[in-house]
Amino acid sequence: MQAARSGLEERHFRLRRELPALLAVVAAIAAIAFYRRYGVEPRFWAASCIARHPPFGCTLRRATVWLQGQDLWGSAALALGLAAFMARRLSLVLAALVLGGAAVINFNAGLGMFGLALGAWTWLRLPGAAPSGSATATASGRPEEGRQHSTSGPGD
């Protein structure tokens, strides 16, 4: 019972520690969705951007649409997701999540979802993610130090 309680306390501490990062990811994805809805899709912007002297906002719109057409939103999200998975760094994880969300919003969902999923999976597997009572392994594949484990083989 004590081990279960300490596991819950550890999860609560981790959630409280990582809540600002989670809120930042959600806010960034919401801002990207807002820009897509009100800065890229309206016909007003499409009409004003083909004018002889387009407004400054058309430069960012043009870059957004070009990145979408080249599938670079999704490719960059996948690359960041793989980098986060291999390096296991929170900064890369957060970037992969935001760029994966941007890729999905900008119609590069195939590759973007892979990058987002790799980022989310890596975030869940970062050090400190497992409760104290569970059997986890380190990156080298060996059980963590201080844990008791059996060294006997099959048939012993």
- Distance in angstroms (rounded) separating the CA atoms of residues 35 and 27: 12
* Contact by Cβ (8 Å): 61, 39: yes
Cα–Cα separations (whole angstroms), residue 69 to 22, 34, 44, 63, 75:
29, 20, 21, 10, 12
pLDDT in tens, 92-122: 999 999 999 999 999 999 999 999 999 999 9
Kindly list the domain boundaries of the chain, sorted by start residue: 11-124
pLDDT in tens, 35-93: 999 999 998 888 888 888 888 889 999 999 999 999 999 999 999 999 999 999 999 99
State pTM to two decimals: 0.73
- Distance in angstroms (rounded) separating the CA atoms of residues 105 and 116: 12
